[in-house]
């Protein structure tokens, strides 16, 4: 961790799935707190920082509300930049999002009849047709639209469920409009977290290439992808440059030691080698190294895959490599 003064850590799929902490996450984050600021940065706008901090404390983490930065806070700040004090803003989301609108000096409303000058939209499990219809009326009048995030899915212990981006898509279809985005991968949320932490060299950590890692690129920060949430090994190989992580680990326990071995370009690939054969990557296991480190194998594959554009399939040069390819869920070809 040498050189990083703050960790900007995603929550869903990184620290926990649903109500349960991911194995090793709590212990690793508590250890890191001794040498760096740890901020929890979530695209989920459904809860306020107090509620998020309460959940994290229940898992065993040492957290105060000021350590939590939500896309609801970022969304409210972005909306405020387009409004005058006291202006009505139509809220599509929870009361936590409405409270953030109040805290920036604006008036949350739930109907287009209140003449809102903007719409702000964040995740709520109770979002239904009626509030989407009110927002659609406002958007079709031409008011400014801010989405707290556009994540299409939300991971929990049962799997992937519709996220705020799926509801944003409904209004995009109904209005023909595009929102201004406050959460990851857009920069406002992470910049707010950097400013609050007073960070000069932050590390952005998460489980999604299209939000966490792309968001890190948006603020020119190094990134760590963990394979405990949405993005998979199959997503990594064809990842565009702006979605490629600096570091790659199985989970947050990689923070327990030297982070350098998890660097994708220069880190540990012990036990594995990769050659390109036409459009395919050929993975070989080192017969003298019996470790089955999936992250090391994946780092070796990424190095060769990212040397050129394309979506390479993977072939195995031996039985152990075949088992690893299957375990990683990679396409063969």
For each of the chain's 333 residues, which pLDDT tens digit applies?
668 999 999 998 999 988 899 999 999 999 999 889 999 999 999 999 999 999 999 999 999 999 999 999 999 999 999 999 999 999 999 999 999 999 999 999 999 999 999 999 999 999 999 999 999 999 999 999 999 999 898 877 788 889 999 999 999 999 999 999 999 999 999 999 999 999 999 999 999 999 999 999 999 999 999 999 999 999 999 999 999 999 999 999 999 988 999 999 999 998 899 999 888 899 999 876 666 789 999 999 999 999 876 667 899 999 999 999 999 999 776
Please give the CATH number for the structural domain made up of 6-43+185-262: 3.40.50.1000
- CA 32, 49, 255: angle at the middle one, nearest 5? 15
Distance CA 45, CA 179 (A): 16
Q: Which pLDDT value is given to residue 153?
A: 87
Would you say 185 and 210 are in contact if contact means Cβ atoms under 8 Å apart? yes
What b-and-e string marks burial along 88-102, b requiring 16 or more CB atoms within 10 Å of the CB?
Answer: bbbbbbbebbbebbe
Domain 83-181, second-level architecture: 3-Layer(aba) Sandwich (3.40)
Contacts of residue 139, Cβ cutoff 8 Å, sequence gap at least 6: 119, 145, 171, 174, 175, 177
Q: Which pLDDT value is given to residue 313?
A: 86
Sequence spans of domains, the chain: 6-43+185-262, 83-181, 272-328
Q: Which pLDDT value is given to residue 213?
A: 98
Distance CA 42, CA 151 (A): 11
- Is 6-43+185-262's fold the same as 272-328's? no
* Catalytic-residue membership of 10: yes
Would you say 191 and 215 are in contact if contact means Cβ atoms under 8 Å apart? no
**φ, ψ for residue 58 (rounded to 5)?**
-65, -20
Q: Choosing from 12, 112, 151, 293, which is the catalytic residue?
A: 12
Other beta carbons within 10 Å of 293: 18
Q: Which pLDDT value is given to residue 3?
A: 82
Backbone CA torsion sign across 242, 247, 252, 256: negative
Distance CA 42, CA 91 (A): 19
Distance CA 12, CA 146 (A): 22
Strand partners, 69: 41
Distance CA 264, CA 245 (A): 7
Q: Choosing from 5, 10, 126, 275, which is the catalytic residue?
A: 10
Pairing of strands 153-156, 144-147: unpaired
The DSSP secondary structure of 87-123, one letter per residue, reads -EEEEES-HHHHHHHHHTT-EEES-GGG--SEEEE--
Q: Which pLDDT value is given to residue 162?
A: 93
Contacts of residue 204, Cβ cutoff 8 Å, sequence gap at least 6: 8, 41, 190, 212, 213, 215, 216, 219, 221, 222, 223, 224
Q: 272-328: what fold?
A: GMP Synthetase; Chain A, domain 3 (3.30.300)
Q: Which pLDDT value is given to residue 288?
A: 67
Q: Which pLDDT value is given to residue 174?
A: 97
């Amino acid at each position: 961790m040498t050189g990083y003064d703050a960790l900007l850590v995603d929550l869903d799929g990184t620290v926990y799935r649903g109500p349960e902490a991911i194995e090793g996450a709590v212990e690793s984050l508590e250890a890191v707190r001794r040498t760096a600021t740890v901020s929890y940065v979530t695209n989920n706008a459904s809860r306020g920082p107090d509620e998020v901090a309460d959940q994290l404390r229940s898992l065993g983490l040492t957290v105060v509300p000021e350590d939590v930065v939500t896309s609801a806070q970022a969304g409210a700040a972005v909306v405020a930049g387009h409004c005058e004090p006291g202006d009505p803003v139509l809220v599509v989301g929870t009361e936590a999002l409405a409270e953030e609108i109040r805290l920036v000096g604006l008036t949350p409303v739930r109907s287009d009849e209140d003449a809102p000058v903007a719409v702000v939209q964040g995740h709520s499990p109770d979002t239904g047709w009626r509030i989407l219809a009110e927002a659609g009326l406002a958007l079709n009048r031409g008011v400014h639209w801010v989405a707290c995030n556009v994540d299409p899915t939300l991971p929990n212990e049962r799997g992937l469920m519709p996220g705020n981006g799926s509801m944003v898509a409904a209004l995009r279809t109904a209005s023909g409009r595009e929102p201004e985005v406050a959460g990851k991968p857009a920069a406002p949320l992470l910049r707010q977290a950097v400013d609050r932490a007073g960070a000069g060299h932050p590390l952005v950590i998460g489980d999604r290439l299209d939000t966490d890692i792309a968001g890190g690129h948006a603020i020119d920060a190094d990134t760590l992808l963990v394979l405990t949430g949405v993005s998979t090994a199959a997503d990594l190989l064809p990842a565009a440059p702006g979605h490629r992580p600096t570091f790659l680990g199985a989970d947050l326990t990689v923070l327990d030691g030297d982070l350098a071995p998890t660097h994708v370009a220069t880190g540990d690939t012990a036990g594995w080698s990769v050659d390109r054969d036409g459009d395919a990557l050929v993975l070989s296991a080192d017969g003298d190294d019996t470790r089955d480190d999936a992250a090391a194998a994946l780092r070796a594959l990424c190095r060769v895959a990212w040397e050129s554009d394309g979506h390479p399939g993977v072939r195995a040069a031996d039985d152990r490599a075949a088992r690893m390819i299957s375990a990683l869920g990679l396409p063969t070809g």
